[in-house]
Chain A
């Protein structure tokens, strides 16, 4: 395991925090540092963690009510006038409901609008399928000018919030609802567009993961090591623009790739990795993600298990891709 990760990562009582906390903390820091940063929400200030910002910087905070399309358009106008708006809602609503506005008002004009999608993945849990965003990566990465990042923990989410403010142009990042393990530390390298190797036991296969499932991937890799299968784990936090060099490197080194994300398999991070590999260095790929269906109510871990994104599923996918590679 990379010595730049949380040393207590594999402990039973590893610290856990929802990734959206990192967003809230990042915004507070930006409020202090950058007077152009403004925050908008659609009646979800508390659960998207922008409430502290709204209290500290009321003149730079806009409550838009339950109206995501208008919120997105307002953000486009603010950005056209030189502000750096962060729009905050659940991903099923923004960008989900406001896709046309993101396409026309934001991306076509190449405006500096940052979209924070909270409550993504089946691990949203009891709220059920209506609130579990599983298509957001696909609908954002297809848009020209858009950057797409999936932070793996609260620390990375904070770093990404700060980095977005310094990177001109439209950008989208997604968060989880539940607490997830702290994987990184303040010193772990983070750069938009740069994937990092977090675990390298060997080169039987590469696991390319994003979001909080990086944790499950590391657990799977560790268990596989004791079972004689040696893999490399990559945190591929930036879906777009993708780190093509790193994808080529692990494909060359390992000859087989498993992608893991809490998103529909179709059109997600794994699809983006496959696009890169097919064009540059084709190797067998297995995809772990939502298998073309909607979720349901339940506990996060039950849902990850049922829909095939648990440690067990990751290990099965690794064994499968490893077998394909040896044929």
Chain B
């Protein structure tokens, strides 16, 4: 997708592939690609809009829209905007890109759901519709997030689960060099949130964390997913230089070969 687009972010989307897979294919969400806006659906919002290629790829694979459309990313007239646009595509619940705005939008959804459930207006099955919001770690440097974290903690918004892509990189370097975030878990706890830390590449662990968050009724939950930026492509892994650029043709072919086959992986390692 990025190769065809000729621009975009490489490392973040690769690092979050396992989390998105767990969310959409791990029997976590109450969602229906054929009825994407059904009232009682769970909502997924992406605050870190720049990693949208992984969201689009997941939605395409889940059947929300034809997969062929994935190659239109960032092209004129495409529904796959460079940063996600509210309802431009089935399943896209949020506009995001300018960092720090998604969690507040997610809180609005969570409040509205709570009001509608209380008023008996929302058909509820076994549980209250849930709101998921995916953030990058570095976007927590935006002050708006902490306003939102305070609000959600104060209001015990238990139907809100935030996932932080803790990949430790941002455009100018490593997060702890640019503007340290640690102790991250303690900060959330101090704001009345439940905190679950997971290996962001262990799908079983991620699914368990989502299910656990759904069982917590006291307060909102943050899942800190420790991920490897550029995961799956050796020459991108851990390198912040890959935060904001696409691969060129050779790099792209090499990356796809590594991701698709074991042989490709072995070949790259022996070059």
Q: What is the interface of chain A, defined by CB distance below 8 A to chain B?
A: 35, 38, 59-60, 62, 64-65, 67, 69-83, 85, 100-101, 104-105, 108-111
Question: In the complex, A77→B144 CA distance in Å?
Answer: 15
Chain B residues within an 8 Å CB radius of A69 = 100, 104, 143-144, 147
Total CB contacts across the A-B interface at under 8 A: 101
Question: Known pairs A74-B105, A101-B101. 11 more at Cβ < 8 A?
Answer: A64-B151, A69-B100, A73-B104, A73-B105, A73-B107, A73-B108, A74-B108, A76-B105, A80-B109, A101-B144, A104-B97
Chain A residues within an 8 Å CB radius of B94 = 80
The smallest C-beta distance from B155 to any residue of chain A, in angstroms, reads 8
Q: Which of A59, A67, A109, A111 contacts B118 (CB 8 A)?
A: A59
Q: What is the interface of chain B, defined by CB distance below 8 A to chain A?
A: 85-87, 93-98, 100-113, 115-116, 118-119, 143-144, 147-148, 150-151
Chain B residues within an 8 Å CB radius of A101 = 101, 104, 144
Contact A81 B113, beta carbon cutoff 8 Å? yes
Chain B residues within an 8 Å CB radius of A85 = 108
Question: In the complex, A283→B64 CA distance in Å?
Answer: 55
Contact A105 B111, beta carbon cutoff 8 Å? no
Question: In the complex, A237→B63 CA distance in Å?
Answer: 48
Chain A residues within an 8 Å CB radius of B85 = 108-109
Q: Which of A38, A67, A82, A100 contacts B98 (CB 8 A)?
A: A100
Main secondary structure of the interface of B (DSSP, over half): helix
Chain B residues within an 8 Å CB radius of A38 = 115
Contact B105 A80, beta carbon cutoff 8 Å? yes
Question: In the complex, A31→B150 CA distance in Å?
Answer: 27
What residue in chain B is nearest A66 (Cβ atoms)?
Answer: B147
Contact A77 B104, beta carbon cutoff 8 Å? yes
Contact B107 A108, beta carbon cutoff 8 Å? no
Chain A residues within an 8 Å CB radius of B151 = 64-65, 67, 70, 74
Q: Which of B95, B96, B98, B104 contacts A74 (CB 8 A)?
A: B104
Main secondary structure of the interface of A (DSSP, over half): helix
Question: In the complex, A27→B118 CA distance in Å?
Answer: 22
A82/B112 contact (C-beta < 8 A), A67-B150, A73-B144, A101-B144 known? yes
The smallest C-beta distance from B247 to any residue of chain A, in angstroms, reads 28
Instruction: Give 10 A-B contacts (CB < 8 Å), ordered by A residue.
Output: A38-B115, A59-B118, A74-B104, A76-B108, A77-B105, A77-B109, A81-B113, A101-B101, A108-B95, A109-B87
Q: Which of A35, A60, A67, A109 contacts B95 (CB 8 A)?
A: A109
Contact B105 A105, beta carbon cutoff 8 Å? yes
What residue in chain A is nearest B103 (Cβ atoms)?
Answer: A73
CB-CB nearest 9 A-B residue pairs:
A77-B108, A73-B104, A81-B112, A70-B147, A67-B147, A109-B86, A77-B105, A78-B108, A69-B144
A62/B104 contact (C-beta < 8 A), A100-B98, A101-B144, A111-B86 known? no
Contact B147 A83, beta carbon cutoff 8 Å? no
A70/B104 contact (C-beta < 8 A), A59-B118, A65-B150, A105-B95 known? yes
Chain B residues within an 8 Å CB radius of A104 = 95-98, 101
Question: In the complex, A44→B100 CA distance in Å?
Answer: 24
- Most chain B beta carbons < 10 A, residue from A70, A72, A111: A70
Chain A residues within an 8 Å CB radius of B112 = 77-78, 81-83
Contact A74 B111, beta carbon cutoff 8 Å? yes
Chain B residues within an 8 Å CB radius of A62 = 111
Contact B107 A77, beta carbon cutoff 8 Å? yes
Question: In the complex, A82→B103 CA distance in Å?
Answer: 18
Question: In the complex, A64→B101 CA distance in Å?
Answer: 15
Chain B residues within an 8 Å CB radius of A71 = 104
Contact A105 B97, beta carbon cutoff 8 Å? no
Chain A residues within an 8 Å CB radius of B96 = 104
Contact A80 B113, beta carbon cutoff 8 Å? no
Chain B residues within an 8 Å CB radius of A67 = 144, 147, 150-151
What residue in chain B is nearest A67 (Cβ atoms)?
Answer: B147
The smallest C-beta distance from A38 to any residue of chain B, in angstroms, reads 8
Contact B108 A75, beta carbon cutoff 8 Å? yes
